[in-house]
Structure 1
Amino acid sequence: MITYDKLDKPNWLNTIFQVRGAVLPMILPRILFFCILTAALTFIYVQGFPIYLEKLGDLTTNVIYNLILGLLIVFRTNTSYERFWEGRKAWGGIVVNIRNLAQEILIGITTQTEQETQEKKQALNLLLAFAIATKLHLRGDQVNDRLEALVEPEQVTELKDSKNRPLDIQFWLRTYLHQQLKLKNFGDAQLNMTSGILNSLMESVSGCERILTTPIPITYRVYLKRLILIYCFGLPFRLVPEITWWAIPIVAVVSFLLLGVEEVARELENPFGFDVNDLPLDDLCDVIEGNINRVSRLHTQAKELTSVS
């Protein structure tokens, strides 16, 4: 996803001519096809030959046809953006819950030995591992080096064979918290709170999975594409007899509008990929890592101040 620094926002004119993230390169071949078709029909018409299928062009001015096409395009775009925004909210929940859980682990769990301290650090690593594993899970990627560095060697093997890596990591975190309760390093109230946070984390993952595994029905997408194709194909037969060569730029603009809106909807349909218009999952994982490190530093400073006083 394209993001801009607060001090480096593009101006209005630069945004218009921006290529990265725009839909024009994706739909340009289709626009050129309709422009070539319009140019061929115009050449035939100015040579005095009759243009057949003129009645097809009447569809472009038909109220019912335009109404159905407009409603379907609006519904398609709104549905895709709703999926995009739902995915962003789900990842917002992951960020917030990991922040809260990191604080609860650092402050709420007391450690008596060096081994318990290392186990607490490993639990914090599992929080970041959860976010990275969720990203890889949604993208269908394998375990990478960054994830391997955050878990134990035996856990790496389990993650490589797992079909739901976030679920495994959540189970390990829950097991750790219950172990701390048995060791009396953790209270019942704190366990209930952290269990609720873990449940919220998996709820966010389930929300992302729902978006990923429930695409827009193929029959709906096919129907909308065919309506746009019929419209763009019939438009030259309507315009050429009236404005001849001027029909070419008009067809280009109209096809850009229709094909562009439909392409925008397709881009937003699955927000978890690698396209520039998808969610910045890598950046969100970096934000989570920074939050965990920040909380750890604050906890260390607080302990130092307490020991001094």
Structure 2
Amino acid sequence: MSGVNLKWVNTTLRLKGSVVHAIYKNVLWCGFFGFFVSILHHLQLPVSQPILGSVIPSIVLGLLLVFRTNTAYERFWEGRKCWGSIVNNVRNLARQIWVSIDEISPDDKDNKIAALNLLVAFAVATKIHLRGETINDELEEFMPSSRYLKLKIMNNPPIEVAFWIGDYLQQQYYRNCINSYQLTGMQELLNNLVDNLGACERILKTPMPLAYAIHLKQLLVLYCLLLPFQIVNSLGWWTGLITALVGFTVFGIEAIGLEIENPFGYDANDLPLDLICKTMKRNIDDLISLTPSARSPENNASY
């Protein structure tokens, strides 16, 4: 039980991964302004205006913040589902390539290994593409240098990698290494990978409407500026602290929405894309270490 309590305390006091660094200036300004209003009240100036609480009802601001956070989390969760689908489709397509495609020449096994590496390359290229980065040497180990150099000049590298995989599958069909049903199944998995790429691009390129983001920020600032005038008569010198706490709450919720609405970056709250890609690489390496059982001649027949 003490271990659970210690973990709870550590999580509560943890700064890495929180939004404190993004909002602390706003919180301090709220506290200073509240303290300033309490000084004016102490000097018996008419700053106590409880009626200002009706200017921006708390329930209205709360609903706006909830909508903002839910919208951002939906984007985060959709991104996670897309990458989960990428992992599953890579595993299924790799398994089918490794088991179903016949090896009728000495180079066929090496070509299959190259195709499996291209599946990992698709995931890595998708990660780099979503982060808006240029192709780096992280991809170099998964393909020949000629293809790597070709990839560096492409506008959408994952699409080029998907083309290479699809071209390989088509070649195996022409060589009678797979039948039409197997080709259709593998192409469907490849299409799913491209669909997942498109879904991630949709998340990335569809930001929160600017007018909504601006209006929410304006309401947050206005609410925190009006709050000290509402509570100073009741709280006195505590006005600054309470205003800072309220600012910490509302600005923190808004900052969390900003933090998670683009889940493809490097922040602590973003998806662990590097780890996901490394996991896929380990899965492919494990698969390559396995030897499929010999296929019977009747399974090689075309339908």
**TM-score, L = length of structure 2:** 0.92
Q: Does 1:160 align with 2:152?
A: yes
Match of residue 139, structure 2, among 144, 147, 171: 147
Pair 185,91 (structure 1): closer, same or farther in 2 beyond 3 Å: same
Question: Alignment partner for residue 267 of structure 2, among 275, 279, 295?
Answer: 275
1:59 and 1:231 in contact (8 A); partners too: no
The correspondence of residues 115-134 of structure 1 with structure 2, limited to 5 A, is 115-134=107-126
What's the TM-score, normalizing by structure 1? 0.90
Write the mapping of 1:196-207 to structure 2, written as runs, cut at 5 A. 196-207=188-199
Other-structure match for 2:9:
13
- In 1, Cα distance between the equivalents of 2:263 and 2:9? 27
- Looking at structure 2, the residues matched to 58 and 48 of structure 1 have their Cα atoms a distance apart, in angstroms, of 18
Q: Deviations over 1:82-111 (max 9, x none)?
A: 000000000000000000011011001111
Q: What residue is the counterpart of 1:60 in the other structure? A: 53
Q: Post-superposition shift, 1:303?
A: 4.8
2:33 to 10, 30, 37: 37
CA separation of 1:97/1:9 partners in 2, compared to 1, >3 Å: closer, same or farther? farther
- Structure 1 residue 11 displacement after superposition: 1.6
Residues 95, 250 of structure 1: alpha-carbon distance in 2 compared, 3 angstrom cutoff: same
- 1:258 equivalent among 241, 250, 270: 250
Q: How far is the alpha carbon of 1:118 from its aligned partner?
A: 1.4
Counterpart position of 1:189:
181
d(CA) in 2 for partners of 1:8 and 1:153? 51
Do the aligned partners of residues 303 and 282 (structure 1) sit closer, same or farther apart at CA in structure 2, a change above 3 Å counting?
Answer: same
Q: Which residue of 1 aligns with 2:220?
A: 228
Residue of structure 1 equivalent to 2:285: 293
d(CA) in 1 for partners of 2:271 and 2:70? 17
Note the residue ranges of structure 2 that are not aligned, 5 or more in a row: 297-303
CA–CA separation in structure 2 for the residues paired with 1:251 and 1:221: 22
Q: Do structure 1's residue 102 and structure 2's residue 98 form an aligned pair?
A: no
Give me the whole-angstrom Cα distance separating, in 1, the residues matched to 2:100 and 2:52. Answer: 68
- Aligned pairs (5 A) from 1:60-99: 60-61=53-54, 65-99=57-91
> What is the CA deviation profile of residues 266-307 of structure 1, one whole-angstrom value per residue up to 9, with x for unaligned ones?
10110001110000000100111111112222x32x559x9x
**Aligned to 1:149, what secondary structure does the other structure show?**
helix
Q: Is the 8 A contact 2:34 2:241 kept in 1?
A: no
In 2, Cα distance between equivalents of 1:249 and 1:44: 16
4+ runs deviating over 6 angstroms: 7-10
* Ranges in structure 1 where 5+ consecutive residues have no aligned partner: 1-6
State the match for 1:172 in structure 2: 164
Task: Report deviation, 1:81.
Answer: 0.2
Q: What is the match of residue 4 of structure 1?
A: none
**Number of residue pairs matched?**
293
